Each structure stands twice: as C-alpha cells, then as structure tokens.
Amino acid sequence: MEAGGLVPAPARPIIVRPRRQSSASWPLIDRIGYWLCWATGIALCLIALAIVVFMFVKGIAYLRPALFVKSPAPSLQQSQSGGFLDPIVGTLIITAIGTVIAAPAGVALAVWISEYGRPVSLARAVESAIDVIAGVPSVVLAIFGLLVFSESFLGFLSQNAVNGSVYGRSFFAAGIVMAILALPLIVGSTREALAQVPDRVREASYALGKSRASTIRWVLLPSIRPQIASGIALGMGRIVGDTAIITILLGVTLTTEGVGSVPLIGTLRGTGSTLTSYVYNNSPAGEGNAPQKAYAAAFVLLMVVLALNALVTRLTGGRERGGRLSALRRALASRRPEWTR
Amino acid sequence: MDPLMPPPVRRIALDREPHIAPPATSPNGAGSGAVVPSEAHRRLTRPDPATVRERMRIESVWLAYGENWVVRDVTLPVRKGEVLALIGASGSGKTTLLRSLNRLTEITAGAARAGRITLEGEEIHELEVNDLRRRVSMVFQQPNPFPMSIYDNVAYALAEQRPPRGRRRRRTAELEQAAQEALRRAGLYDEIAADLDRSALKLSGGQQQRLCIARALAAEPEVLLLDEPCSALDPISTATIEELIVRLRESVAIVIVTHNLQQAFRVADHVAFMHLGELIEYGPSEQVFDRPSQQRTRDYISGAFG
C-alpha cells in the first residue's frame, strides 16, 4: 500500500495513558506487604552500593601503582612490606587450574545427566553427589584435600621432605580442590540451560539423520553458550573469592615459592598466596596487620571478579555483538569446522 | 471399536528379526492401483496413478505407546512423484504413523510396533537409523530452525556424519553450492540470498518453515514427511508452501498430515482417512472427497465430527 493511501495522522493526537494504580483501596495487610517488598529491595540496593562505594573509596585511597609490581616482604614497616604482585599471580594461577578442570568436566557431566542419563539409578546417584559437593563447606573440602594430597602417591603434586613425607600444599592441590568447588555451579547452569532447549529442536536434528552426539555438539552446546559462560563465570567468582581452601592448601608463604628447577611445574608444585589470603593476612585479624594494604587488595579482588565476569561474557556472548574482542573471537572462529563459519 | 486381537508385538529395541509378512492386500479395495507391475518400474513418464513406483510401503502396521494402541492395522503405499495426505480427527494416529516412517517414535519410551514398513523394499528397522532419517526426512508443525545462521542451518544437514578418516571434508565451495541448491528448491534463496549469515530465528514464520524444508531437502531424501507444516502459518505463507509441495513431488515422495481438508484436496494425489487408529478409506483425492465409499469418511468430510 502506498503511504499516501493511509489515513493521515491527527494533528494533535490525544494520547491516553493508563492511570497509575493506587494502593489506597487495598486491604491493610496487602499494603504493608507491598511496602515491605519496596523497603527490602531498596535496602538491598543500598547495601550493594555501600560495599562498592566503601571498597572504592578505601581501596583507591591506599592503592599505589607500586603495589602491583612489588612482592610482599616481611617487614613491620609499612613502607617496606612490599606489594601484592605474588597474590595477584597466585589468584590467576588458581583460577586457571580450577577453571580448566571444572569447565569441561562440568559441561560434560551436565550433558551426560540431561541428554543420556542411563542407567537412571546412576544418573540419580550422580545428581545427589553433585548436590552433596555443592553443600560441603569449602573448609571441609580443604581439609579433605589436604588428607588426599598428603598421600605419597600424589607427592609429585607438591613439595616432598627429605624423609619422604609429602607436604600436600601447592598450587596444584588448591587448584584441583577449587575445581570441585566450582563444579556444581557449572553443572547446574548447563543443566538448566539444556532443560530449557525445547525437545522439538532435538527432534529436528534427529529427523535430519543426525546422531545424538552431533546434535549435542553442533546444536545444543552452541545454543546454550551464554548459560555455560555464566556458569563458568560463577564458578570463577567462587574460586577467586574462596579463602579457606587457600589458607589450608596453598601453604602459608605470602610469596610464590617454587620447588625444584623446572620453571612452570616447579611453581605449581610450590606454595604461594592469593588475594584472599593476602587480605586475610593483612587484615587486623591476620598476622600482617596492615589494613591499608588489605583494603587496597580487597578492592583489586573485587575488580578482578568483575573483570573476569565481563571477560567471559564478552568472549562467549555470541557473534552479533562487535567490539574490541571481536578480532579474538574471529581468530577462535577460524579454528572451527567449515560449516559453522 | 471392534475387539480385534492385535498381532504379536515386536518391541522395537529387543527383536531384531525381520518380520516377514505375506504380500499385502490393499485395504477396503480402494487402492487397487497401489500394487505396481514390476515392468513399469523404469518408465520415466509423468506420474500416472497406475504406474508410479512405490517408495515406501506400510503393511499391517500397528503402533502403540505402552499398552495403548494408537495405530491399528494400517496398510498404505507411499509412492514416488505423489503427495499422500493423511487426514483425520485429532487422536486418529496420523502423526504417530508419520513419525514411525523415520522411526522418530522410538525416541518415546515404550513405543512399540507390529507389522512391516519398508523403504525401497528394505525393512526400515534393518537400516541404520540415522541413514534412514537422512533418506526419510521430516518437517514439523512448529517451524524449528536451529539457533544459528541461515546458511549453517542447511550446511548442518549437509555435513557428513563422520568424515572418513584421512579424507578431507568436502570443500566449502561445494558445500555452499549444495546449500544454495537446497534453499532454491525450497523457494527461499531469492528472498534471503543477501543475508545467509543472519540468524535463522530472525526470519518470519513462513520463511522459517521453508528453511526447515530446505534443511530437510539438503541431504536429498527420497521421502519427505510433513507434519501439519502450515498450521502455525498465515494464509499467504501457507499458499507458498502448498505451491512448494506440489512442485517438490516431482522429485521426492511426500507424506503430509493435515487437519485442513481444503489443503489436503489442493495438494494431495492420494488421501488416507484415519479414525481412532484405523485406516477407514484410502484412494485418489477426488474419489475420497467427492465419492467417499465409507459413511465415516462422508461424515468427517462434511463436518459431522472431528
């Protein structure tokens, strides 16, 4: 139809908006409930805002560029006690180990439970096991981990004393236990996403003569990528923020102490610290008692968590969105088989 | 319902013996043209009801979900160059029968079948299931494109299941050509040629359904199953798809389930009317609609029930 054929718009249209509903006519109990909801919501926003603002003000006040490049040093003089280079590196190492183990394992577990799940009894058992792990306090996981990694057959993962006893505390040990901590989050969000994919999508793929495996690989997993990413981000947040496992399983050294002469493996077998243990150590409750540095480190910790979340979301957020990272995504895409490009 | 005793049930997952049935007799005497003289097989003429070749044959098929028989003793030919429409009220078993033709019923736990379904003379249960589904492809009631680009939707259907070891995958140019060809056959290519890389979910409902048809056609199936393909679409998209169906029957045998009697009349060469799992009447479209031999068919067509 031509534009000229349309009814001309009125010169001054009268726009009717729905009148705002008033709660005056409600029963008293409903009104109280309504205002309580309001109050809780606003209170929560205020608390979140307070955390961010407080950490920001305190953190910025004590943050110095030098803190990022200096290793912690044992000194009672605040000007001599160094920065938190090692804790930052430690956090990154632990997160990397935990994620590299937990992400593929978690996605695989979730796919198995929701797409195969046979025999049913085994699937139920696995589900309960995941629930149990999700409910275990991280300090219990840490103690259990110390027990396991002190066994002599796992000696290659940590420091060994001359008499043959195994220290059981290392980046490897802490990273692996962190993976267990993050696993339920990744399994949970992947399973939920798979459950939301309608069965007609699976049927459509089967009806084209595709096997279950290729349906999962090429249809289901790509379509739930954002949810997998958010599960991984949640897991990473959990890893970055956990203190108990670090305190118990990463040793007590504030600096990264390698073992042996092999460069990377030596570091990973050795002990160190992360931002969480650094904050704990420097807080008034810890040995260092340098609250200024604790505030600065806690601020960095907060920023690391937020940055990780943003990075994972950007990396996996789909192809439509452009940006500075799209070149990286294109590079990743070029490693995919032809038909997905 | 007459208390017919069902024949021994073959649990699909357990019994792998081929079920040898005696040569079938056409039901209700209406499909006497269905038995094909073998001399006529190689004649490449326009489809002539007496000489078209059978692609699939459904022989005394019973289908059940658990204890519940939903298809009872149906015998039907599916012929090349023809559109076969399955009509009937809801719950008459037509969709179940359709889904059993590429063994999609097996996804449902407890599904069972008795009788024989053959594709080019081979019992479909003897074929590798994914092979069968590539040869007998299906389009569903709801358009269900995959959440990926338009091109990928078709290319996924084309991609080989397991590329033979040592040999490279087909070249992109070839794949692209095949995908374009499939989109062209589904009458979609000219509309979307410029945005093959756009998400398939951004297409209109009618375009999505044609994309699903293109996807189903990509692997060059012998039989195309359509389960009420237009029921979620507007009249214009429906007309486009009906034209497409009529055009496609030259190259592929089509079975369509529909609630829309006018649609069945417009597109189908043969019509099978089912009621409560039984095949009541089968015959050329004009005959079933103009001179139905059974009272129940007459009632259904004139709107007395269903």
Q: What is the CB neighbour count within 10 angstroms for residue B39?
A: 8
Mean pLDDT of B86-97: 91
Instruction: Give B20's pLDDT tier (boundaries 50, 70, 90).
Output: very low
User: At B234, phi and psi to the nearest 5?
Assistant: -80, 165
More confident residue, B298 or B15: B298
Partners of residue A198 in chain B, C-beta under 8 Å: 144
Question: In angstroms, what separates the C-alpha of B214 from chain A's closest C-alpha?
Answer: 11
For residue B78, the model assigns a pLDDT of 92
Q: For residues B91 and B97, give the distance between their C-alpha atoms in angstroms, rounded to a whole number.
A: 11
Least-confidence region, from A124-128, A154-158, B66-70, B208-212: A154-158
- Answer yes or no: do B134 and A206 touch at CB < 8 A: no
Write down the H helix ranges in chain B: 94-100, 129-135, 150-158, 172-185, 189-192, 205-218, 235-248, 261-267, 285-290, 295-301
Q: For residues B142 and A199, give the distance between their C-alpha atoms in angstroms, rounded to a whole number.
A: 12
Q: Is the pLDDT of residue B250 over 90?
A: no
Q: Is the pLDDT of residue B42 over 60?
A: no
User: At B255, phi and psi to the nearest 5?
Assistant: -120, 125
B135, B140, B199 ranked by CB distance to A200: nearest: B140
B35 lies in some domain: yes
For residue A55, the model assigns a pLDDT of 86
pLDDT averaged over chain A? 83
Question: What token pair was written down for B190?
Answer: 């000219």
Mean pLDDT of A110-136: 93
More confident residue, A82 or B205: B205
For residue A266, the model assigns a pLDDT of 81
Question: What token pair was written down for B147?
Answer: 């959440």
Nearest to B176 by CA among B152, B208, B192, B195: B152
Mean pLDDT of A296-303: 87
Q: Is the pLDDT of residue B3 over 80?
A: no
B133, B139, B142 ranked by CB distance to A209: nearest: B133
User: At B112, phi and psi to the nearest 5?
Assistant: -140, 160
Least-confidence region, from A192-201, A314-323, B4-13, B249-258: B4-13
More confident residue, A35 or A340: A35
For residue B257, the model assigns a pLDDT of 95
For residue A2, the model assigns a pLDDT of 47
- Answer yes or no: do A218 and B156 touch at CB < 8 A: yes
CB of A316 closer than 8 Å to CB of B147: no
Instruction: Give A304's pLDDT tier (boundaries 50, 70, 90).
Output: confident
CB of A319 closer than 8 Å to CB of B199: no
Q: Is the pLDDT of residue A336 over 70?
A: no
Beta carbons within 8 Å of B10's beta carbon, 6+ residues apart: B19, B112, B113, B114
Q: For residues B286 and B266, give the distance between their C-alpha atoms in angstroms, rounded to a whole number.
A: 10
- The CATH number of the structural domain formed by A63-67+77-315 is 1.10.3720.10
Mean pLDDT of A9-26: 77
CATH of the domain at B226: 3.40.50.300
Mean pLDDT of A18-27: 77
Beta strands in B54-110 (DSSP E): 54-65, 68-79, 83-87
Stretch (H or E) spanning A288? none
For residue B57, the model assigns a pLDDT of 92
- Answer yes or no: do B140 and A205 touch at CB < 8 A: no
Beta carbons within 8 Å of A116's beta carbon, 6+ residues apart: A123, A212
Mean pLDDT of B83-95: 91
Q: For residues B267 and B245, give the distance between their C-alpha atoms in angstroms, rounded to a whole number.
A: 7
Given CB atoms, is B216 within the 8 Å cutoff of chain A? yes
| pLDDT, tens only, B190-200 | 888 888 888 88
Q: Is the pLDDT of residue A190 over 90?
A: yes
Instruction: Give ∠ CA A140-A308-A136 in degrees, rounded to 5.
Output: 15
What is the domain range of residue B97?
A: 10-301
Quickly list DSSP for A221-275. HHHTHHHHHHHHHHHHHHHHH--HHHHHHS-S-SS-B--SS-HHHHHHHSB---H
| pLDDT, tens only, B159-185 | 764 444 444 445 577 788 888 888 988
Q: For residues A116 and A120, give the distance between their C-alpha atoms in angstroms, rounded to a whole number.
A: 9
For residue A312, the model assigns a pLDDT of 64
| pLDDT, tens only, A86-109 | 888 899 999 999 999 999 999 999
For residue A315, the model assigns a pLDDT of 59
Mean pLDDT of B55-77: 91
Instruction: Give B27's pLDDT tier (boundaries 50, 70, 90).
Output: very low
CA B174, B250, B243, B118 dihedral sign is negative
Instruction: Give B58's pLDDT tier (boundaries 50, 70, 90).
Output: very high
Q: For residues B209 and B140, give the distance between their C-alpha atoms in angstroms, rounded to a whole number.
A: 9
Q: What is the CB neighbour count within 10 angstroms for residue B79?
A: 26
Partners of residue A201 in chain B, C-beta under 8 Å: 144, 146-147
Mean pLDDT of B267-285: 92
Question: In angstroms, what separates the C-alpha of A213 from chain B's closest C-alpha?
Answer: 10
Q: For residues A248 and A178, give the distance between their C-alpha atoms in angstroms, rounded to a whole number.
A: 12
B131, B137, B161 ranked by CB distance to A207: nearest: B137
Bridge partners, residue B84, by sequence: B255, B270
For residue B224, the model assigns a pLDDT of 94
Mean pLDDT of B220-231: 92
Which residue from B minimizes the CA distance to A210?
B130
Instruction: Give B43's pLDDT tier (boundaries 50, 70, 90).
Output: very low
3-state helix, strand, coil in chain B (%, to 5): 35, 25, 40
B5 lies in some domain: no
Domain count along chain B: 1
B1 lies in some domain: no
For residue A283, the model assigns a pLDDT of 84
Interface with A, mutate which of B146, B168, B170, B201 (most A CBs under 10 A): B146
| pLDDT, tens only, A37-91 | 999 999 999 998 998 888 888 888 888 888 888 888 776 677 777 788 888 889 9
Highest mean pLDDT among A97-111, A156-170, A237-251: A97-111
Q: For residues B116 and B59, give the distance between their C-alpha atoms in angstroms, rounded to a whole number.
A: 5
Least-confidence region, from B22-36, B83-97, B214-228: B22-36
Which residue from B minimizes the CA distance to A218?
B156
| Ranges of each domain in chain A | 63-67+77-315
Question: In angstroms, what separates the C-alpha of A219 from chain B's closest C-alpha?
Answer: 7
Nearest to B87 by CA among B209, B242, B265: B265
Given CB atoms, is B107 within the 8 Å cutoff of chain A? yes
Q: For residues A96 and A175, give the distance between their C-alpha atoms in angstroms, rounded to a whole number.
A: 8
Q: Is the pLDDT of residue B18 over 60?
A: no
Interface with B, mutate which of A194, A203, A208 (most B CBs under 10 A): A208
Single-letter residue type at B100: S
Distances in Å between the Cα of A177 and the Cα atoms of A135, A181, A245 are 14, 6, 8
pLDDT averaged over chain B? 79
